[in-house]
């Protein structure tokens, strides 16, 4: 059975990074000693090391630690040896492209399907669907395919908010963009 928490965001207004998820993280990873962090989405262009350090410092507040997928030579071996996985937010195109280029789709999917606890935030949640076709991210790189981990049988649009009644915005809303996606992809 899968043990997954798919969060829309890592930070909510008025709180620190992941703070609102602390009770969930403690519960999800309560039996995990080797939590793997996959930093490939690189928010704001952070280096893999800087992003991993941020996550490790944050998990440290919960008396937990993570290791980065790049901390040792073989990313697939790192997936095999972990007992928890966290994929953070950033750019979904960059994340998926990196995972594809490193041939990590199958190992990640196999590990999560075997019951390894998984936390995804934003882009890390987005790649759990059938594709990243409903992301709002800028395509800063072009993955070989938009098909993603397919751990759930639908797509998620992280950070989605319902249209605000009375808003004078004349552009397309996320709701409209998602309807467009379904028109051509169902």
pLDDT given at position 180? 76
Active site residue: 159, 169, 173, 186, which one? 159
Read off the pTM.
Answer: 0.90
Alpha-carbon distance 116 to 127, whole Å? 17
Mean pLDDT of 58-68: 96
pLDDT given at position 8? 92
How much of the chain exceeds pLDDT 90, in percent? 78
What tens digit of pLDDT does each residue of 77-117 get? 999 999 999 999 999 999 999 999 999 999 999 999 999 99
Active site residue: 137, 144, 162, 173, which one? 137
Question: Is 159 one of the catalytic residues?
Answer: yes
* Beta pairing partners, 36: 67, 85
Alpha-carbon distance 60 to 66, whole Å? 9
Question: Is 53 one of the catalytic residues?
Answer: no
pLDDT bracket for residue 171 (50, 70, 90): low
**Which range (21-25, 107-111, 146-150, 157-161) has the least confidence?**
157-161
In the chain the domains, ranked by start, together with CATH numbers, are 4-185 (3.40.50.880)
Answer for the pair 40, 140: CB distance below 8 angstroms, yes or no: no
Active site residue: 98, 122, 131, 148, which one? 122
What tens digit of pLDDT does each residue of 6-18 get? 999 999 999 999 9
């Amino acid at each position: 059975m899968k043990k997954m928490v798919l969060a829309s965001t890592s930070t909510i207004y008025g709180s620190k990074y992941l703070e609102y998820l602390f009770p969930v993280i403690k519960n999800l990873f309560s039996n995990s000693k080797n939590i793997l962090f996959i930093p490939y989405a690189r928010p704001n262009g952070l280096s893999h090391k800087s992003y991993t350090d941020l996550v490790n410092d944050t998990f440290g507040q919960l008396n937990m630690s993570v290791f980065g997928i790049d901390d040792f030579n073989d990313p697939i071996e790192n997936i095999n040896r972990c007992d928890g996985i966290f994929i953070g937010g950033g750019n979904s195109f960059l994340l998926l492209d990196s995972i594809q280029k490193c041939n990590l789709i199958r190992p990640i999917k196999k590990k999560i399907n075997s019951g390894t606890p998984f936390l995804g935030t934003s882009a890390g949640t987005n790649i759990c669907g059938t594709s990243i076709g409903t992301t709002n991210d800028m395509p800063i790189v072009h993955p070989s395919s938009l098909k993603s981990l397919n751990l759930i049988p639908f797509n998620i649009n992280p950070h989605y908010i319902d249209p605000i009644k009375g808003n004078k915005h004349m552009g397309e809303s996320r709701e409209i963009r998602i309807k467009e996606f379904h028109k051509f992809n169902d």
